[in-house]
Amino acid sequence: MEKKNVEKKEIKDITRRDFMTKSALGMLSLGLLGDQALSEILSGENIELPSGQLQWGGIYVMEGPPGPLTVINGKLYLYFGGTGYFALHGHLHLVEAAISAVKKYGIHPGTSRSGFGNNPILLDVEKRIADFFGSEDAFYFVSGYLGPLVLLQTLRDKYDVIIMDETSHFAVKDAVNSIGKKVLTFKHRDAENLKKVVVKGLKPDERPVLCTDGIFPTFGVIAPIPDYVEILKPYGGLFVLDDAHAVGVLGARGRGTFEYYGLKGENLYFSGTLSKAFGGEGGFICGSKEFIEKAKTITGIYSGATPTGNATAAASAKGIEIVKSHPEMRQQLYKNVELAKKGLRKLGFPMNDTPVPIVTWSLKSADEMLRVHKALMDRNIIVPYSKYVGAPAGGVLRASIFSEHTEEQINRLINELGKLI
């Protein structure tokens, strides 16, 4: 028990402070950072670093790993962007795993996995994915973007019609368009509209597959999957979820949207990514050994593409290990999300009460949101202005909350935002 507590403390210390501390100490030793600057970094204050004079032609360039404090264009910001929900992308254990893997196995196998392209790292990632999600087997490939494509291609002999949420991610839409089967769309997260579409558009002998995001990336809302299941049950409907933002985050064990709703069944399929909550890179699907073998055989990815690089694969394996071994990180994430949403409600913004670490709000105009976005950056706080999938024409302000944000950092965002609106 004592050893376990030590391990938990080690994880927490590294993910929250060690990277910035060690980087700051290194700069101090080289005479690049003064005592006052070091003190401010350790206390969580935001300052401009010596490389701030560097210009990148008007684009934002991240010059360190993403985390609660992140260096962009030479300046240290309190960061509420991206998808690093557990701030693992710069975690020392992941970095060390990546370095060790490259030293031992090189950059990547240099060939597809159907021949000699398998190696212990790739096989280990698949074993860890299967273990984490409670499946017999898993298929790990180079990008989560390919997940819906892999599933729809593998399942194509089991459905006749694709039904898609109209606000689905590009990955879902690209996958759907590649299949060449009949496609019906329904209004975003609207079960009643889905029912109408099904009744009007499905023939008696047609079996549907419903495709949607689990968590939609702009507003962080969850698809009402239980309602969809009931509607499609008489038709033997299949479900394909792009669960990129949910895996690692939703559910008692972090298994995603289906677990969040307590749903199980042979017709429920999802794809995920290791590049968000798990701090690594690459996409995956889970299933029985027979299903995974079919996916590797039917799709061209296993036999026709170079697999994920050894560095990111090894880092991904370590990220899965950390998320599985430290469920308290997920609980801390939920607390931080609740704190952020509570603060935004007090400012007058409507917020849902889910644990999704994406908090989004809008102001009266795009110009007003751009003003606030810039003013926050002037205060060394980054909240992206976004016109991503599903955003209204004027865009939104979208903050990502990390488990490693401190209460003080979240309150700072709320307080500074309150002054600006």
> Following DSSP, what letter does each residue of 143-206 receive, concatenated?
-GGGHHHHHHHHHGGG-SEEEEETT--HHHHHHHHHH-SEEEEE-TT-HHHHHHHHHHH--TTP
pLDDT digits (tens, 9 = 90+) for 185-195: 999 999 999 99
On whether residue 302 sits in a domain, the answer given is no
Instruction: Return the half-sphere exposure (C-beta side, CA atoms, 13 A cut-off) of residue 273.
Output: 26
* Residues 34 and 154 grouped into a single domain: no
Sheet holding 385-386, edge to edge: 358-361, 396-400, 385-386
pLDDT digits (tens, 9 = 90+) for 192-223: 999 999 999 999 899 999 999 999 999 999 99
Q: Domain boundary residue among 274, 304, 320?
A: 274
Residue with the larger pLDDT of the pair 17 and 118: 118
Q: How many domains are there within the chain?
A: 2
Work out the pLDDT band at 55, boundaries 50, 70, 90: low
pTM: 0.87
Task: Using DSSP, state whether 130 is helix, strand or coil.
Answer: helix
Q: Would strands 268-273 and 161-165 be described as parallel, antiparallel, or unpaired? A: unpaired
* Residues 148 and 269 grouped into a single domain: yes
* Residues 77 and 154 grouped into a single domain: no
On whether residue 63 sits in a domain, the answer given is yes
* Residues 150 and 76 grouped into a single domain: no
Q: Domain boundary residue among 241, 274, 307?
A: 274
On whether residue 322 sits in a domain, the answer given is no
* Residues 77 and 149 grouped into a single domain: no
Give the pLDDT score at 45. 43
Question: Is the predicted pLDDT of residue 226 greater than 80, yes or no?
Answer: yes
The rounded distance, in Å, linking the Cα atoms of 191 and 197 is 10
Strand partners, 69: 78
The rounded distance, in Å, linking the Cα atoms of 125 and 128 is 5
Q: Domain boundary residue among 243, 274, 305?
A: 274
User: Of 284, 361, 369, 267, which Cα lies nearest the Cα of 319?
Assistant: 284
* Residues 51 and 164 grouped into a single domain: no
On whether residue 219 sits in a domain, the answer given is yes
Contacts 24+ apart (CB under 8 A), 40-48: 41/69, 41/76, 42/17, 44/69, 44/78, 44/406, 44/408, 44/409, 46/76, 46/77, 46/78, 46/380, 46/381, 47/76, 47/380, 48/74, 48/75, 48/76, 48/380
